[in-house]
Amino acid sequence: MAVGVFDSGLGGLTVLAALQERLPQVDFIYLGDNAHTPYGVRDADDIHHLTRGHVRTLWDMGCDLVILACNTASAAALRRMQEEGVPAGKRVLGVFVPLIEALTERQWGDNSPPREVAVRNVALFATPATVASRAFQRELAFRAIGVDVEAQACGGVVDAIEEGDMILAEALVRSHVEALLRKMPHPEAAVLGCTHYPLLEDVFQAALGPQVTVYSQPRLVAESLADYLARHPDIAGEGVPARYLTTGDARRVSDRATRFLRRQTQFEHI
């Protein structure tokens, strides 16, 4: 059986690439809801409705495990889906928890009470919807105490990246970092809370300075999934080539994804 990877658009491809590199023996099906992207400007109910429907599609295709490779979907829909109940034998995971576990130096599955951690001041860069949800702060509070989080909504960055305008994207990143530093002059760590942002990790790091540790999700999610699959080897599959599915125009999405990943990527419309 395959592992499903869901995103509102193309950003989740950064997570998928890291998963494929770390776990070449695993079958993956990627589903991008390009017909409704971006999720970052939608309200929570709309995001939940869209995410739930597409996760069910991946479950119906045989993906017992689905990863929400979208911070906005993870923030606005994951907990609500879990509270509503997940079908027996199915599981849905978000991308926040592996990042927070790395930030707080907790092991996968450590459910002990929250405790003080080394990092005290954290900058969060994310989409407007993710920032508004406060999901990062909520999940962090389950694991750590005494951490001050300053969030910066990075409007325009996702659109610029998906349009291939990296000059604009880099300028926007520098502007958002400057705005964050006016509110929190000395962050110790920065969280890139959108799966598009790893493409600009060097820009974030340069704008923040070498003294700030930047946490990027793809490699952390890949390590967490590797740990999970070591304990659940029946999910892994046989390592067949990944399938790329989209709700949008397959040719247009394929062209944009090829530019995004800098390698040929062919999507199918569903």
**What is the total residue count of the chain?**
270
Q: Scanning the structure block, which residue is given the tokens 């990075």? A: 154
The residue from 70, 77, 97, 103 that is catalytic is 70
| Separation between Cα atoms, residue 230 and residue 97, nearest integer Å | 18
Residue 194 appears among annotated catalytic residues:
yes
Which residues fall within 8 angstroms of residue 24, CB to CB, at 6 or more apart? Answer: 239
Closest by CA position to 8, among listed 168, 194, 201, 233: 194
What gap in Å lies between CA 161 and CA 164, rounded to an integer?
Answer: 5
- Cβ-Cβ contacts under 8 Å for 266 (sequence gap 6 or more): 244, 254
Catalytic residue, chosen from 58, 92, 194, 235, is 194
In the chain, the N- to C-terminal Cα span, in Å, equals 19
CA 15 to chain centre: 7
Active site residue 63: no
Catalytic residues: 70, 194
